[in-house]
Amino acid sequence: MNLLKKEFRLCMHPIAPMMLCLSALILVPAYPYAITCFYMTLAIFFTCLSSRENHDAAYTACLPVSRRDMVRSRMGLACILEGVQLLACLGFVFLRPLTGSTENSAGMDANLAVIAEGLIVFGLFNALFFPRWYKDITKVGLPFIIAGAAVFLYITLSIVSTYAVPFVRDVLDTPDPEHLTEKLIFLACAGALYAALTLLSFRLSVRRFEQVDLQL
């Protein structure tokens, strides 16, 4: 808990709360909404970047904590930011009908499936970014480029699927509460995928970080 407090007070980049505000892009009629989640991954990247510049690893390694705890707190911060971002998106999904329509010509409509897509975006990011970063915490750019490329590939496929895949087009890309059961199942599957990818990422990150030499 103390480490998590440290993450929020000393490490979290100030851009993170600003990225939360970008959840409001769900109110825009034509916008690939999953990208709002990408913005939060950018905030996580900046947090890791500024941690490196502020010698966070050296400070934390001197504290009476294990390397496993160090990984857990950083990924815990990421998961909290991701969760808050999804909650903010959910709020705007509920608000969107007040604009008169939930339709979106640039991908998934503003509905529950957008939250599921967000979970997949974050799961992919966690799985690809953290294990690579914890292999060498002095190199934060390349892990982000690789994770970001995967996220954008997924978002592109997601947009294409709203036109090309009948199930996505006719069932998921519809206004709520149409096909609510299918959307909730999609959401549950995305949640499970997020949990599995993040847990796998955590274990791999710990294993790598425990072996790495910290050049302080």
Partner 1 sequence: MAKNDAPLSVRGLCKKYPAFTLDSVTFDLTPGAITGFIGRNGAGKTTTLNAILSFIKPDGGEVLFSGLSMADHAAEIKQKIGFVSAGMAYYTGKKLKTITDVTRAFYPAWDGAAYQKYMGRFGLDESKTPASLSNGMKIKYALALALSHGAELMLLDEPTSGLDPVSREELIEIFLALKDEGKTILFSTHITSDLDKCADRILFLQKGRLTADSALNDFIGAYRLASCAGGVPEAAAPCVLGTCRTKDGCTALFKQADAERLSLDCRQPDLEEIMVHLEKEGA
Question: Quick check: 58 binds partner 1 (CB under 8 A)?
Answer: yes
What's the CA angle centered on 53, arms 51 and 55, to 5 degrees? Answer: 65
Q: Which residues contact 214 (CB under 8 A, 6 or more apart)?
A: 57, 58, 61, 137
H helical segments located in 111-179 = 112-133, 141-164, 166-167
Question: Quick check: 18 binds partner 1 (CB under 8 A)?
Answer: no
Q: Report which residue type is found at 91.
A: G
Q: Are 119 and 192 in contact (CB under 8 A)?
A: no
Task: Out of 18, 54, 145, 199, name the contact with partner 1 by CB under 8 A.
Answer: 54
Question: Quick check: 87 binds partner 1 (CB under 8 A)?
Answer: no
Question: Quick check: 214 binds partner 1 (CB under 8 A)?
Answer: yes
Q: CB under 8 A: which stretch of 2-10, 83-91, 143-151, 162-170 binds partner 1?
A: 2-10
Dihedral pair phi/psi, residue 21, rounded to 5°? -60, -25
Question: Quick check: 211 binds partner 1 (CB under 8 A)?
Answer: yes
- Shortest distance, position 69 Cβ to partner 1, whole Å: 9
Task: Out of 15, 27, 61, 84, name the contact with partner 1 by CB under 8 A.
Answer: 61
Question: Quick check: 138 binds partner 1 (CB under 8 A)?
Answer: no
Total chain residues near partner 1 (CB under 8 A):
21
Q: How many CB atoms lie within 10 A of CB 52?
A: 14
What residue ranges bind partner 1 (CB under 8 A)? 2, 5-6, 9-10, 54-56, 58-59, 61-66, 211, 213-216
